[in-house]
Structure 1
Amino acid sequence: MLAFVAGALFFIAFILHATETSTEVLFSPMSLMLLGLTVLAVHLAGVGAGWSSRRGRR
């Protein structure tokens, strides 16, 4: 799930950069890219993967 969020942030950053849209500092393409990399790193670290409790059925 976090990988989809990272992909969406990268896409928004690309569109803002490609169209050279003037935005505030908070939503600049570089800040969105760094936020996307942070979310991707958290995803790769295993956060948000969910816990599956295996209960042995007998």
Structure 2
Amino acid sequence: MFAYIAAGIFGFALLLDLFDTDLGAPDLFSPGTLSLAGLLCLALYLAGVGRAPGSGGGGRWRGRRPGRG
């Protein structure tokens, strides 16, 4: 979930930078501030924050691997 939020923030920051606008709030919507917010969300995603309980990664491959006798 945090990865999707980070992607949205990065996309919004890119559009603001491309159109060279600050939407009337230069400190709140600057590309630098939005990039830091996106990096924070990306770091939280990589740290595992917000995952569903018990989703320890790779739950599909628990136990024996198929095809091994």
Same fold (TM over 0.5): yes
- Segments of 4+ in structure 1 off by > 6 A? none
- The number of aligned residues is 53
Which runs of 5 or more residues in structure 2 are unaligned? 56-69
TM-score norm. by structure 2 comes to: 0.71
Q: Which protein is richer in helix relative to its size? A: 1
Larger RCO: 1 or 2 (CA < 8 Å, sep 6+): 1
Which runs of 5 or more residues in structure 1 are unaligned? 54-58
TM-score norm. by structure 1 comes to: 0.83
Across the aligned residues of Structure 1 and Structure 2, the Cα RMSD in angstroms comes to 1.4
Greater Rg over alpha carbons, structure: 2
Identity %: 43
